[in-house]
Structure 1
Amino acid sequence: MRGLVIGLAGIGLSMTYSILNFANFAHGDYITAGAFSGWATTYLVAGLGRADVGALLLVGAGGSVYGGTLDIGIVSTPLAIVLGLLVAGVFTVALSLFVDRTVFRPIRDEDGITLLITSIGVAFALRYLIQFVFGSDVRGTTAQPPSFSLYFVDGAVRINMHDLTLAVVAGGLMLAVHLLLQRTKLGKAMRAMSDNEDLARVTGIPTERVVRSVWIIGGALTGVAGYTFILWKGTLGFNDGWLLLLLIFAAVILGGIGSVYGAITGGLVIGLTASLSVIWIPSAFARAAAFVVMILILLVKPEGLFSGRSTA
């Protein structure tokens, strides 16, 4: 589950690097912004008439209302979850386009370091704006979801409905990205621009439209990833995306910088490593274990699992 979230969020980061040629450090805070917008919607729909509207829109800031009290879950409040998921994607798209138009677009012709440092500034601004509006407390967002067991020869695996929801949503969106890249004119334009932007412009590809499409697709996937991540783990904090960002970068680098398929595969490897390592080492070192695995793989295959900088 963790690997699916990292892989889904990594697609947007990989596309940004591949086509816009910079590492967007604000990506983690896009995840958080999408999560808060989506969960504010979910709280409002699930709790309308049962709690104060202001408390619902602030996702229960200060302990004013709890997701468990509202019985929020994919089974108990499916409409609230679906609407929250949609709003998370749409809001993150709008945020991505706004930041690109006001911040990144005016300096797009500068070097990658300028864009990178600017994205760090955007990240801090977003993070502390979210903290100012919603507060710094970590709040529970869902009720305990129904679960079922899958039985094997040596035991059973317990899976709840939020696990299943994350798997279906992430798997479906990853398949959609594959079809977009391989079967549509927009996907071919993205791959062409990734390979050679100047040649793509000369041959008549509308590069500005492609850039806008990258922010739209990447923003939607990022917002959905943030929302489903919170649905899966059941808690929400103002720095969740920032804490996830280093693992996303690790996944993108491991898969091959600029490769969408590499980001997906790298996300699964990093997520599995971080989760399974707690069997042998203390949980506090799980993040470090993921980076150790990344380093070991890169020592053998320095160009990454998918060998290079390509949206395909």
Structure 2
Amino acid sequence: MRGLVIGLAGIGLSMTYSILNFANFSHGDYITSGAFAGWATTYLLAGLGRADVGSLLLVGAGGSVLGGALGIGVTTTPVAVVAGIVVAGVATVLLALALDRVVYEPIRSESGITLLITSIGVAFALRYLIQFVFGSDVRGTTAAGAIPQISLYFVDGAVRIDAHDVTLLAVTAGLMLGVHLLLQTTKLGKAMRAMSDDEDLARITGIPTERVVRATWIIGGGLTGVAGYVFVLWKGTLGFNDGWLLLLLIFAAVILGGIGSIYGAIAGGLVIGVTASVSVLWIPSAFSRAAAFVVMIVILLARPQGLFSGRSTA
């Protein structure tokens, strides 16, 4: 589950790198922004008439409203959850487009390092704006006891899968399939692959590069916002630095898969996510991220170009 979230969010980061030619360090805070926008919507719809609207829109800041008390869950409040997923994606798209217009577009012709440093500034601004508005407390978001579970029994024990696991799997797999079809079968997808391979040649041949750039932010932002929402739905807690904590793992996934490769980001996300989760069987959980990076280094030593080397966007 963790690997699917990392892979979905990694698609947006990989697209930004391959088409816009810079590593967007504010990507993690796009995840958090989308998550808060989506969960504010879910709280509002689930708690309307049961709690103060301001507290609901602030996602229960300061413990004013608890997601568990509202009975939030994909089976108990499905409309609120679906609306939250949609709003998370749309809000992140609007945020990405606005920041591109105000911040990145004026300096797009500068070097990659200029864009990278600028994105770090954007990341800090977003993170502490979220903390200022919503507070720094980590709050529970779902009613865990109300989530139905399915037990799959094996020789050595049972694996329990709940409705939120299934939701995360369905949403991430569906969106990944959608990206694949877009890249391989649509005119826009072919234009994005062409611009990734050679921007100057794409411009000369008449490809509308500005339209491709906007599409990159729209697709990447939408996927990133949805990834943030379903990640919180899955783990059941929300904090202002959730995206920042995921960011290094997302970068590791993109590098492991092969920088600029969409499919590489997905595969790398699965490898990194599974490694971080399974490693706690042998080492303390505080070192799980370190284990993921060790696996990344080992694989890159054997395959320096990443798992999907030689490909740009697909």
Q: Which residue of 2 aligns with 1:101?
A: 101
Count, aligned residues: 312
Q: What is the Cα-based RMSD across aligned positions, in Å?
A: 0.6
- Deviation at 1:156? 1.9
Aligned positions of 1:129-148 closer than 5 A? 129-144=129-144, 145-148=147-150
Q: Identical aligned pairs, as a percentage?
A: 82
- Following the alignment from structure 1 to structure 2, what is the Cα–Cα distance between the partners of residues 101 and 311? 23
- Work out whether 1:295 is the aligned partner of 2:297: yes
Q: Distance in 1 between matches of 2:160 and 2:67?
A: 22
1:181 Cα offset (Å): 0.5
Q: Name the SS for the 2:153 alignment partner.
A: strand
Which residue of the partner structure matches residue 9 of structure 1?
A: 9
Partner SS, residue 95 of structure 1: helix
1:116-127 to 2 correspondences below 5 Å: 116-127=116-127
| Counterpart Cα distance in 2 of 1:40 and 1:236 | 11
Report the alpha carbon displacement of residue 309 of structure 1 after superposing the two structures with TM. Answer: 5.0
- The residue number in structure 2 matching 1:69 is 69
Alignment partners' CA distance in 2, 1:252 and 1:29: 17
1:115 aligns with 2:120: no
Q: Deviations over 1:78-126 (max 9, x none)?
A: 0000000000000000000000000000000000000000000000000
Aligned to 1:244: 246
Q: 1: CA distance between counterparts of 2:312 and 2:49?
A: 50
Deviates more, 1:145-154 or 1:157-166: 145-154
Residues 188-207 of structure 1 correspond to what in structure 2 (within 5 A)?
188-207=190-209
Tell me, what secondary structure is at the counterpart of 2:150? Answer: strand
1:119-171 deviation line (CA, Å, top 9, x unaligned): 00000000000000000000000001211111233332100110110000000
Residues 63-85 of structure 1: CA deviation (Å, up to 9, x unaligned)? 00000000000000000000000
SS of the counterpart of 1:128? Answer: helix
Counterpart code for 1:10: G
Quote the Cα distance in structure 2 between the aligned partners of 1:167 and 1:84: 17
Letter in 2 for 1:205: I
Structure 2 alignment gaps of length 5 or more:
none
Please name the residue that 1:40 is paired with.
40
Aligned partner of residue 160 in structure 2, secondary structure: strand
Pairing 1:86-97 to 2, within 5 Å after superposition: 86-97=86-97
Rounded to whole Å, the distance in 1 between the matches of 2:264 and 2:208 is 26
In 2: Cα distance, 1:236 partner to 1:155 partner: 30
Is the contact between residue 258 and residue 308 of structure 1 (CA under 8 Å) also seen in structure 2? no
Q: In 2, are the aligned partners of 1:3 and 1:271 still within 8 Å (CA)?
A: yes
- 179-188 or 146-155, which moves further after superposition? 146-155
Which secondary structure state, in structure 2, belongs to the residue aligned with residue 294 of structure 1? Answer: helix
Q: Which whole-Å CA distance do the structure 2 matches of 1:149 and 1:168 have between them?
A: 18
Which residue identity does 2:94 align to in structure 1? A
**In 1, Cα distance between equivalents of 2:114 and 2:63:** 40
Mapped to 1, the partners of 2:59 and 2:193 lie a distance apart of 40
Shift of residue 251, structure 1, vs aligned partner = 0.1
| TM, length-normalised to structure 1 | 0.99
Which deviates more, 116-125 or 302-311? 302-311
Tell me if the contact between 1:31 and 1:223 (Cα under 8 Å) persists in the aligned partners.
yes
User: CA 1:123 to 1:308, structure 2 compared with 1: closer, same or farther past 3 Å?
Assistant: farther
Q: Residue 182 of structure 1: which of 181, 184, 188 is its match?
A: 184
Residue 280 of structure 2 is matched in structure 1 by 278
Letter in 2 for 1:255: G
Partner Cα separation in structure 2 for residue 230 and residue 256 of structure 1: 27
What is the distance in 2 between the residues matched to 1:55 and 1:274? Answer: 35
Does structure 2 retain, via aligned residues, the 8 Å contact 1:14–1:257? yes
AA paired with 1:113? I
TM-score by length of structure 2 reads 0.99
Q: Secondary structure at the match of 1:68?
A: helix
Q: Output the CA distance in 1 between the equivalents of 2:30 and 2:156.
A: 41
Give 1:218's match in structure 2, choosing from 212, 217, 220. Answer: 220
